[in-house]
Amino acid sequence: MYTEAKKQDAKKQFKLLRPHLKYMRRLYNPATGKHRIHSDREVIHNYELQGFKLEEGFENGRVIPWDTYQANYKRFKRICPPLITVYSVEHPVAGNQILSFTDIGQSFRINGFLPSKKPVGACTWKRACGATKPLYRLNQKSLQGFGDYFYTVDKNEVRHNNRNNPLYKDSAKDNTVCYTW
């Protein structure tokens, strides 16, 4: 439960982190039916070269970009201890992207996933430091086992897909990746 003192601490932490936050951008490739999400402009541009298109009009949440987080790691961890790195791993054959808290763990390697060139950035593992927007992962059901994953902070988008899209029905239950700003 948030006390008034915790609320004030979160406001102070957010004030210190706010200038460093950057929106994640979600992309979709109509040819493959796959999604991508990232905060780094260069990575996003590389996705665009692969046929991905930016999805406009979606609230994607803000993270601390990887370069900024890495350069100020100790300072940011003092300001906000619950910060975690969000890594992006991709399957070269299936075309899936999964966000992870571990840098390409053994289970991902066994299943053929490879790390992307740059992590997405940093968010928190719990509501803290002003980060209150859950980043949800929706898992597409697929008979071939190569379904899509996409990410959103928009609870209405989650509800809509859980109710109306049979490929994503009930897929976001307990699939909060992290908390964004």
Using one digit for the tens of pLDDT, what is the confidence trace for 99-147? 888 766 666 666 777 777 799 999 999 999 999 999 998 888 765 556 7
Q: What share of the chain is helix, strand, coil (3-state, %, to 5)?
A: 30, 30, 40
More confident residue, 8 or 107: 8
Of 101, 86, 90, which Cα lies nearest the Cα of 40? 86
Mean pLDDT, residues 156-174 taken together: 75
Percent of the chain with pLDDT over 90: 50
* Segment among 4-18, 40-54, 98-112 with least mean pLDDT: 98-112
Mean pLDDT of 144-170: 79
**pLDDT score recorded for residue 107:** 62
Mean local confidence (pLDDT), 11-21 = 92
Per cent of the chain over pLDDT 70 is 88
Name the more confident of 104 and 53: 53
Residue 112: closest CA among 146, 152, 138, 155: 146
Residue 29 β-bridge partners: 34
**Nearest by Cα to 168 from 140, 131, 142, 129:** 140
What is the pLDDT at residue 172?
60
Q: How far apart are CA 149 and CA 27, in angstroms?
A: 12
- pLDDT given at position 18: 93
Classify the phi-psi angles of 115: left when phi > 0, otherwise alpha if psi is within -120 to 50, otherwise beta. Answer: beta
Give, as one character, the DSSP assignment of residue 6: H
Domain segments of the chain as ranges: 4-180
Residue 146: the pLDDT is 64
